[in-house]
Amino acid sequence: MHDEVLMCYYGCGLIAPEALKSAQFLDLGCGAGRDVYALPQMVDEQGFVVGVDMTDEQLDVARTHQDHHRDAYGYAKSNVEFHKESIEFLADLQLDLTSFDIIVSNCVVNLATDKREVLRPAFNLLKLGGQLYFSDVYADRRVPAVMARDHVLYGECLSGALY
C-alpha cells in the first residue's frame, strides 16, 4: 500500500470479516482509503469497494493513489471508487439498494451526530443477509451532556461514542 495512504490512516481497529471473495463493500467514512485499498487484496478482482467520506483532503489522498494500487495488485481495472458525502446523507448518493454484501466503518460512527440516520440507510443498501462491521470508540456509560457539547472532545472521537 502507498505510504501516504498509510500515514493518513486514522482508524481504530480491524474491520475485515472472513469470506470476502468477490464481495461488494461499502466503507463509511473511508478517509484516505487505507481500508478501501486493503480490502481489494482480500476480495479478488470481481469484488468492489466503494468509499464514502465528507472531507476533500482525505479523498484527495485516496484518489491520488488509485492507479498505484490497481498496478500493485495487478488488476486490469481499479475495483474501488470514492464518493464525497456525509454518511448521514448516504441516500443522496443513489447507490443501488440491496447491492452490498458488507458495509464497514472504522472510527467514524462516533463522529456522526445522528447515528440512526447513518445506520438506517446503510441497512437499506445491504443485500439480504448482508453484514455491517464497524470498529469504533465506545463508552461504558452514558456520555454526560456537557462532554457531548464539547466540540474538541467530539472531534477527538470521544464524546460521540456509542454507549
Ligand X SMILES: C[S@@+](CC[C@H](N)C(=O)[O-])C[C@H]1O[C@@H](n2cnc3c(N)ncnc32)[C@H](O)[C@@H]1O
Given the rule CB under 6 A, which residues bind ligand X?
9-11, 29-31, 34-35, 53-55, 58, 86-88, 106-108, 111-112, 157
Nearer to ligand X, 23 or 87 (CB): 87
Nearest distance, CB of residue 155 and ligand X, angstroms: 9
Nearest distance, CB of residue 76 and ligand X, angstroms: 27
Nearer to ligand X, 13 or 45 (CB): 13
Nearest distance, CB of residue 72 and ligand X, angstroms: 19
Nearest distance, CB of residue 135 and ligand X, angstroms: 8
Q: Cβ-closest residue to ligand X?
A: 11
Nearer to ligand X, 38 or 126 (CB): 38
Nearer to ligand X, 23 or 108 (CB): 108
Phi, psi of 57 (to 5 degrees): -60, -40
From residue 106, alpha-carbon distances to 11, 25, 80, 133, 134 in Å are 5, 13, 17, 9, 6
| Core vs surface per residue 14-39: b (16+ CB within 10 A) or e | ebbeeebeebbbbbbbbbbbbbbbbb
Nearest distance, CB of residue 66 and ligand X, angstroms: 16
Helix (H), strand (E) counts: the chain: 8, 5
Task: Give Cβ neighbours of residue 120 (< 8 Å, ≥ 6 apart).
Answer: none
From residue 91, alpha-carbon distances to 94, 131, 140 in Å are 6, 18, 31
End-to-end, the C-alpha distance of the chain in Å comes to 34
Nearer to ligand X, 10 or 123 (CB): 10
